[in-house]
Chain A
Amino acid sequence: MLEVSIRHRQGNFDLEAHFTAGQGLTALFGPSGSGKTSIVQIVAGLLKPDEGFVRFGDTVWTDTDNGRHVPAHRRRIGYVFQEARLFPHLTVRQNLDYAARFLPEARAGLGENRSRIASLLQIAHLLDRRPATLSGGEKQRVALGRALMARPRLLLMDEPLSALDHAIKAEILPDLERIRDVEGIPILYVSHSVAEIARLATRVISLDRGRVVSSGPQPAGVIEGAVVEGGEALGSFLAATVTGHLPEDELTAAACAAGTLYVRQVDVPPGTPLRLHVPANEVILATGPVDGLSALNRLSGEVLSVEDHANAVDVRVDCGGLPVLARITRLSARELGLKPGTAVHVLFKALSIGPDNLYRGA
């Protein structure tokens, strides 16, 4: 169990954070500049906070009251950075074995551990290469492996996927899930990507301008119904529970707070929690009755807000407590006369939610 309670002057704002993180993946979530990276550096011991303490299990890592500060190299952490930070003068194998030069714990069963981690992360064929010859995704996998090879008691990941393109992210996400579920090491994971957090996090700690604004287990945290903006396709997350399958039609039915949803068939038993990302571009709004339409997903709700953007209008609709975002043309918004309070139907096709946008809830 990691316990953090710190205050740190940082640029033009004060960082103040009090939280705990246990088994599973605890996500530190917030926009850039909200102090996420500083918190991770303080936990790692690479940065000393102005005030406060960091405890891990029974060990006090930092306590400004009595001047205690365990240096980073004695904390037994694994740190995965945004950029892989592989040692360019060493081969992949030497990078993986690096911690064993210094940590007796990492030396025990080194070869065995290396083969296991190399196959877990599918990097066994890269062992004799040098970092300069690896692709971005391969580098980040090796960096993950190198951190695991230190047999850390705590894994810190600071936006490990943000420098990678979409396809490679999709490849590495399952690796992160495996690390979370198989290795059993508590993970503190920094990200500003709702999609990553929706998929990976056991608990979410939300930060804004240096303050913890919310924390709690998924899906009660910020993620449920969260609207994704920024780097990813604009859209909203819906939490649902699988209720059954329609094998002939290759569909899965799931219940959410707003009603029944149909999505591509997912191979999980009924009762499994599911999270789906509905791209705002794929959502159709209707003010009249909806009959004779092919779209399978039909929710009813009430317009929360209408926001005019450069080339489109973003409409937030409250569907039984779940906010759903629709991006429509200005013309449509005007013709439908949408304003807060308007009753609308929200429609989207089962096929408009790609396999990448369906996650098993943790």
Chain B
Amino acid sequence: MDFSSDDWVAIALSLRVAAVAVAVSLPLGIAVAWLLSRRDFPGKTLLDGLVHLPLILPPVVTGYLLLVTFGRKGLLGPVLAEMGLVFSFRWTGAALAAGVMGFPLMVRAIRLSIDAVDRRLEAAAESLGAPPLGVFFTVTLPLALPGIVAGAILAFAKALGEFGATITFVSNIPGETQTIAALIYSYTQVPEGDGPAMRLTLVSIALSLGALAASELLARRVAARSSGAAHA
């Protein structure tokens, strides 16, 4: 298969956008998952709903809301631009859209794994002198690691394939916001585009399957390590 330079640019961009989206949203995702799993507070249901919104809204709507909020003339756009953070029609905007769309999947996986961490172990840690943050970093986080890895990879796969919100928010600019999905779309709009579209489709499938396999492998390794089976 011979890829055009446009293809390579789009593949590299997709990987960068997805990696940045996951890297930036992961700490926030862990924090939100922990809050939803371990704390009761007013507005918890609202937060839960908000987190899940991108999963159920049409992606175009999410993209439009991002445009209204983070666009050049949006609610927060100008303020953030003054701080040097510009999203509109930039790859950073694509990363933001990808991160928002992957967020519910990430939080769900992490929350489930934090739910599964035995609170009695956390109480034991507390009795041994660990303050709340200490308990989190030495017991909760390591034991929830398989779910965190799974959540991150799920979000990564989702980010790689994100299309609707991205194209609505930051358009389809080659080299800046034209990810694999956007380029496939462009190819399907021109005659003779079938071959290139199929090539990128195969790349897309390969990347997604690769991410899935990596997630399984990592989760299994982490689970084995934390249960001690690797030493049995």
Q: Which A residues form the contact surface with B (CB < 8 A)?
A: 44, 46, 71-74, 76-79, 81, 83, 85, 87-89, 98-99, 101-103, 106, 129-133, 146-147, 150, 156
Contacts and interface: CB of A to CB of B under 8 A. Distances in A.
Contact of B128 (A89, A132, A150, A156): A150
A275 to B, nearest CB: 32
A308 to B, nearest CB: 42
B226 A88 contact: yes
B127 A87 contact: no
B143 interface: yes
Contacts, number: 87
Nearest to A134: B228
Nearest to A46: B123
Contacts of B138: 87, 98, 101
Contact of B129 (A46, A76, A85, A131): A76
A99 B126 contact: no
Interface in B216-232: 225-229, 231-232
Contacts of B118: 85
Given A81-B120, A88-B143, 18 more contacts: A46-B123, A78-B128, A79-B124, A85-B120, A87-B125, A88-B228, A89-B226, A89-B228, A98-B138, A101-B130, A101-B138, A102-B129, A102-B130, A130-B228, A130-B231, A132-B232, A146-B128, A156-B127
Contacts of A146: 128
B191 to A, nearest CB: 57
Interface string B109-142: 0000000001011011111111100100011001
Chief secondary structure at chain A's binding surface? mixed
A49 B120 CA distance: 19
B125 A44 contact: no
Contacts of A150: 127-129
Contact of A99 (B123, B129, B232): B129
A61 to B, nearest CB: 13
A101 B125 CA distance: 11
Contact of B124 (A85, A102, A133): A85
Contacts of B131: 71, 73, 102
Contacts of B232: 130, 132-133
A106 B226 CA distance: 25
Given A81-B120, A83-B120, A88-B143, A73 B231 contact: no
A88 B134 CA distance: 17
A102 B227 contact: no
Given A101-B138, A133-B228, A133-B232, A72 B126 contact: yes
A132 B232 CA distance: 8
Contacts of B128: 73, 78-79, 98-99, 102-103, 146-147, 150
List of 3 A-B pairs having minimum Cβ-Cβ separation, nearest first: A130-B228, A132-B228, A79-B127
B45 to A, nearest CB: 26
A78 B125 CA distance: 10
A137 B1 CA distance: 62
22 contacts: A44-B127, A72-B127, A73-B126, A73-B127, A73-B128, A73-B130, A79-B128, A88-B143, A88-B226, A89-B225, A89-B226, A98-B128, A99-B128, A101-B129, A101-B130, A102-B129, A102-B131, A129-B231, A132-B229, A146-B128, A150-B128, A150-B129
Given A89-B226, A102-B134, A130-B228, A73 B129 contact: yes
B228 A131 contact: yes
Nearest to B139: A87
A87 B231 contact: no
Nearest to B222: A89
Which of B123, B128, B134, B139 lies at the interface centre, i.e. has the most chain A CB atoms within 10 A of its CB? B128
Nearest to A100: B129
B142 A89 contact: yes
A106 B127 CA distance: 13
A132 B143 CA distance: 14
A73 to B, nearest CB: 5
Interface in B194-232: 225-229, 231-232
Contacts of B130: 73, 98, 101-102
Interface string B137-156: 01100110000000000000
Contacts of A129: 228, 231
Nearest to B230: A130
Nearest to A94: B138
Contacts of B125: 87, 98
B48 to A, nearest CB: 27
Given A85-B120, A89-B143, A132 B227 contact: yes
Nearest to A105: B129
